[in-house]
A and B are shown apart, each in its own frame.
Chain A
Amino acid sequence: MVLQTIITGLSIGSIYALMAVGYSLVFSVLNFSNFAHGAIITLGAYIAWAIMVQFLRVPFLPALLLSVLGAGILAFLNERIAYSTLRRRRAPSLYLMISAMGVAIALQNLLYATIGAKLYALPPVFAQDSFEVGGATISRMDLFAFVFSVVAIGLLHCGLMYTKVGTAIRAASHDMEMVSVLGVNLDVLVAVLFLIAGGLGGMAGVFMGVKYMVYPSMGWITNKAYIGAVIGGLGSLPGAIVGGMLLGLLEALVSVTTIGSVQLSTYRDVFSFGILAILLIVRPTGLFGRLVEEKL
């Protein structure tokens, strides 16, 4: 049963990680928490629903690709419309964060107003979804999502390490002003950043749609991913992954623990948020974070 719990935890954690990366990427360069990320994830899932269920019958892989692309473009537009002016005006990051919250609420309500609160499911990817390993059941979709997330994050890592744009992004995360003085076009750099963050979010949204379901407030779960990112250290890519995984594991373990007659499953969120609070006191920069002045 412990093995099963760990597998469950890792599969939840991998989705948290995928979403947390989006938060961390944006934070690392622009130094603000992009709370609109949850809405982008939701829209990614809705794109998949539209092309897989509602209007066309696109198979899973092309649909995943299109959703990643679509969510990336939406994130890019989100930046252009809501953040770029603030960014150029060098507004404090608090303003950017508030703008992001506004976008998140507006997009969610737009979904309620247009498509409605109805729940939708994305078609299953595998007909026979689970197989047994050593007494534990593993879902094929989970494994698929896990591998895909790892590959995507791995590619992102390589991109950041070995390409010119990646180097620029890393440099910008240290000092954006300096990078711009050195001749890097910041607008292009930020556009690439949001395309990547949005694309990963779109992927997470599609996986969530297949594993769970699609509905306007599904972006709520990104709160957990955000906690994962903070635990790992906002702005740090390995931190986001480790933080997300750790949170998923912890939640699964807490869910099956009983102390006396009290079942901790109902205290799951108390734990997640409690750990966040304690960590911020003990180690404000998270596990892998670096010191920054503002953490919003």
Chain B
Amino acid sequence: MRVRSIFGVLLLACMVGGLAVPCESGQAQTIKIGHEVALTGPNATWGQSEANAVKMAVEKVNAQGGVLGRKLEIVAYDNRADRLEAVNVAKRLVEQDKVVAIIGPAQSGVANAIREVNNSAKVPVIATTATNPKVTVQDNGAVVPYTFRVCFIDPFQGTVAAQFAAKDLKAKTAAILYDVGDEYSQFLAKYFVEAFEKAGGKITTNEAFRSGELDFRAQLGKIKYGNPDVIFVPTMQKEAALAAKQARDLGIKAKLMGGDGWGSPDLFDLAGPAIEGSYFVNIAALEDPAIQDFIKEYRAKHKEDPVLPNPVLAYDAVLWLVDALKRAGTTDGEKLKAAMEQTKDLQVLTGKLTVDPKTHNPLNKPAVIQETKGGKFVYVKTFVTTD
């Protein structure tokens, strides 16, 4: 006990000392990278895991000699996933810590909130899981110069689902049931229709409902009439569960498909056996063979599973940044940004990363397909779309 408390005091002293003296080695040569992350609050589960992953990635880079002959240093501040707090954090990172780039934030709304700060200071931001299209592309279609993201945008899931249905499920016909009051659902449906028709498929019925409704049997009855191979239901787990139950009640045998909104464990409690044998698109899965080394390392270090998808994407963001720094040969914001835009076929954890300079989104980002089987999400494959 005593030994432990002495140890604690020592540890505390070290920490306080660490705060007071900027950097033990005192060199200004470290390259500082900011990390906007929710370490407390309702998003902390993902945030903590994301912070761990960023540290792991940076340690690895540093062990291999760092970048441009300098070591990386992560400056992580808690933004509680709160927009106001995130702006404060961004200002502190940019003005006081003088970071060269910022990893995070994870939430679309938060990424939009800090846009002014990082763009006027010309500090690139790589949002981790901010999937709303507007994070990197403004309403007028212009790209936000210094904001990037490492995840795919929401609507892209519609493309993935359509191509997977056409190629892997060999579906010739598809029907859609989407929520007309929800942007996420609307865009997924739109992209699905485009990609499915491009792949030679036929949309038999395209039906919608209004947010908050519980009964889709009228629409499903119409869908049944068209006898489609698959039904795409790009909604949250609640509507997906209702649609599955009601579809099976109506005797519809078609396979159901959805987006990452389905990926909540209570899907099975809500839908029961009706949801079995359905497929949905997700950002990451623990069983993904490509990330097994990372997961093993993470488990060894933190004695628990990473909370996906944030850690994987944040890890990719670090790799992306390191690669861009190397190619830019400098930490200058403008040049770094240009190098980030030119990223092509970079090997990261989740596959190959190519960035679209017009949107700052990854191109043909690999997505994970999961199946609902035996009351669990089962990894099917990592799917890469084609243009």
The chain A residues found within 8 Å of chain B, CB to CB, are: 1, 4-5, 8-9, 11-12, 118-121, 124, 129-130, 132, 137, 139, 208, 211-213, 215, 218, 220-221, 251-253, 255-256, 263, 265-266, 268-269
Q: A5-B221, A119-B266, A251-B218 are in contact. Are A130 and B249 (CB under 8 A)?
A: yes
* Whole-angstrom CA separation of A124 from B274 in the bound complex: 11
Q: What's the A-B contact tally at a CB cutoff of 8 Å?
A: 82
* Whole-angstrom CA separation of A129 from B212 in the bound complex: 24
A262 to chain B, nearest CB (A): 11
Residues B269-316 near A (CB distance < 8 A): 269-272
Q: Does B59 contact A (CB under 8 A)?
A: no
B214 CB contact (under 8 Å) in A1, A124, A221, A268:
A221
Question: Is A266 within 8 A of B270, CB to CB?
Answer: no
Question: Is A266 within 8 A of B210, CB to CB?
Answer: yes
Question: Is B180 within 8 A of A119, CB to CB?
Answer: no
Residues of chain A contacted by B209 (CB below 8 angstroms): 255, 265-266, 268
Residues of chain A contacted by B26 (CB below 8 angstroms): none
Question: Is B242 within 8 A of A212, CB to CB?
Answer: yes
A122 to chain B, nearest CB (A): 10
A265 CB contact (under 8 Å) in B207, B225, B251, B270:
B207
Q: Does B206 contact A (CB under 8 A)?
A: yes
Residues B246-283 near A (CB distance < 8 A): 248-251, 266, 269-272
Question: Is B180 within 8 A of A256, CB to CB?
Answer: no
Q: Does B368 contact A (CB under 8 A)?
A: no
Q: Does B202 contact A (CB under 8 A)?
A: no
Q: A121-B272, A213-B270 are in contact. List 10 more A-B contacts (CB 8 A).
A: A119-B238, A121-B241, A137-B250, A137-B251, A139-B249, A211-B214, A220-B212, A253-B218, A265-B208, A266-B209
* Whole-angstrom CA separation of A118 from B267 in the bound complex: 11
B225 CB contact (under 8 Å) in A1, A118, A220:
A1
A280 to chain B, nearest CB (A): 22
Closest to A141 in B: B249
Residues of chain A contacted by B225 (CB below 8 angstroms): 1
Residues of chain A contacted by B221 (CB below 8 angstroms): 1, 4-5, 8, 256
Question: Is A256 within 8 A of B238, CB to CB?
Answer: no
B219 CB contact (under 8 Å) in A120, A137, A221, A265:
A265
Question: Is B250 within 8 A of A269, CB to CB?
Answer: no
The 10 A-B pairs with the shortest beta carbon distances in the complex, nearest first, are A255-B218, A212-B214, A266-B180, A252-B218, A8-B217, A4-B221, A121-B270, A266-B208, A256-B222, A130-B249
Residues of chain B contacted by A218 (CB below 8 angstroms): 214
Residues of chain A contacted by B207 (CB below 8 angstroms): 263, 265
Q: Does B215 contact A (CB under 8 A)?
A: yes
Residues B198-237 near A (CB distance < 8 A): 206-210, 212-215, 217-219, 221-222, 225, 237
Q: A1-B225, A132-B251 are in contact. Are A213 and B218 (CB under 8 A)?
A: no
B240 to chain A, nearest CB (A): 11
* Whole-angstrom CA separation of A60 from B105 in the bound complex: 47
**Of residues A132, A139, A221, A255, which shows the largest number of chain B Cβ atoms within 10 Å of its Cβ?**
A255
Question: Is A120 within 8 A of B269, CB to CB?
Answer: yes
Question: Is B270 within 8 A of A119, CB to CB?
Answer: yes
Q: List 5 A-B contacts (CB under 8 A).
A: A118-B266, A121-B270, A252-B217, A263-B208, A266-B208
Residues of chain B contacted by A120 (CB below 8 angstroms): 269-270
Residues of chain B contacted by A132 (CB below 8 angstroms): 251
* Whole-angstrom CA separation of A121 from B272 in the bound complex: 9
Question: Is A12 within 8 A of B215, CB to CB?
Answer: yes
Question: Is A130 within 8 A of B222, CB to CB?
Answer: no
* Whole-angstrom CA separation of A215 from B309 in the bound complex: 27
B41 to chain A, nearest CB (A): 16
Residues of chain B contacted by A265 (CB below 8 angstroms): 207-209, 218-219
Residues of chain A contacted by B238 (CB below 8 angstroms): 119, 213, 215
* Whole-angstrom CA separation of A187 from B96 in the bound complex: 70
A206 to chain B, nearest CB (A): 15
Closest to B251 in A: A137
B218 CB contact (under 8 Å) in A9, A215, A269:
A9
